[in-house]
Amino acid sequence: MVRINRVHTGGGDSGDTSLVDGTRVLKSSPRLGVVGDMDELNSMLGVVVMEINNLPDRHQDGGFRPTVRRVQDIASISLNRIQQELFDIGAELACSPGKIPEGIVLLDEVSSDRLVDEMDTWLEELEPLPSFIIPTGKGPVAWLHVARTITRRLERGIVGLRDIEGDDSIRDFVLVYLNRLSDWCFVLCRWISSQLGEKENLWLPVGKRQKSKISKVKKMQENDEMSIEDV
């Protein structure tokens, strides 16, 4: 069991730090880069959990919103599990190749398969997409899109690290898990929007977007000025 009774050590004041196995590396090292991205991703999922728990579960008239409670119960359980798993993978990433200390239990395909099972369950309740989605939405949905993009950046960083240190430096499973997780975040975005009755903002090709030489913003400002003059 880890016991932390002191955070500030001063050991990194010169710009280097220790990996989990004790190896000293510069804080600018590619391996520390992916560890930092993992920390950022886990923190962002914490924001998503907060936003989900802050969803109002009552209508303005005081009536209960069962769909909100369903989102809170299902998403919070899944996200809590994933945050734990990301911590496990983060510890694995913070080790030099072949130097994972005894006692660190490595995740396996069961974790990535569980992500697929959850996605398939949610997709059964969703209509097929007619286009791409613009990344926006209610609080937790918008933040999940950010988490999805951080996951993709973490993926790219790991591929780059393997290119430097060799394919054996990081298990294939880690890449598979993160690839599934980014898709999982996207599907969860859609499922939450559906449960909350929110319309998805779809991308429209240029040919289908409204064409006008005058922007809507300019028209609105002109209308505002005309209204003020009429007062």
- Residues 53-76 pLDDT 10s: 998 877 666 666 898 899 999 998
pLDDT digits (tens, 9 = 90+) for 213-231: 567 777 777 777 666 555 4
- The stretch 116-137 carries a mean pLDDT of 94
CA 76 to chain CA centroid, Å, is 14
pLDDT of 12: 52
Banded model confidence at residue 110, pLDDT cuts 50, 70, 90: very high
pLDDT of 50: 95
Q: Around Cβ 226, how many Cβ atoms within 10 Å?
A: 9
- The stretch 78-86 carries a mean pLDDT of 97
Q: Give the DSSP H/E element, type plus range, for residue 26.
A: strand 24-26
Residue 83 has pLDDT above 90, yes or no: yes
C-alpha distances (whole Å) from 107 to each of 128, 159, 172, 176, 224 are 32, 19, 12, 12, 59
CA distance 106 to 80: 18
pLDDT of 219: 74
pLDDT of 42: 97
CA 135 to chain CA centroid, Å, is 12
- The stretch 120-146 carries a mean pLDDT of 93
pLDDT digits (tens, 9 = 90+) for 1-56: 555 544 555 455 556 666 667 677 657 688 889 999 999 999 999 999 999 999 88
Q: Around Cβ 152, how many Cβ atoms within 10 Å?
A: 15
Q: Around Cβ 144, how many Cβ atoms within 10 Å?
A: 28
- Domains in the chain (CATH in brackets) are 16-204 (1.20.1200.10)
C-alpha distances (whole Å) from 229 to each of 131, 216, 217, 225 are 43, 20, 19, 6
pLDDT of 218: 74
Percent of the chain at pLDDT > 70 equals: 81
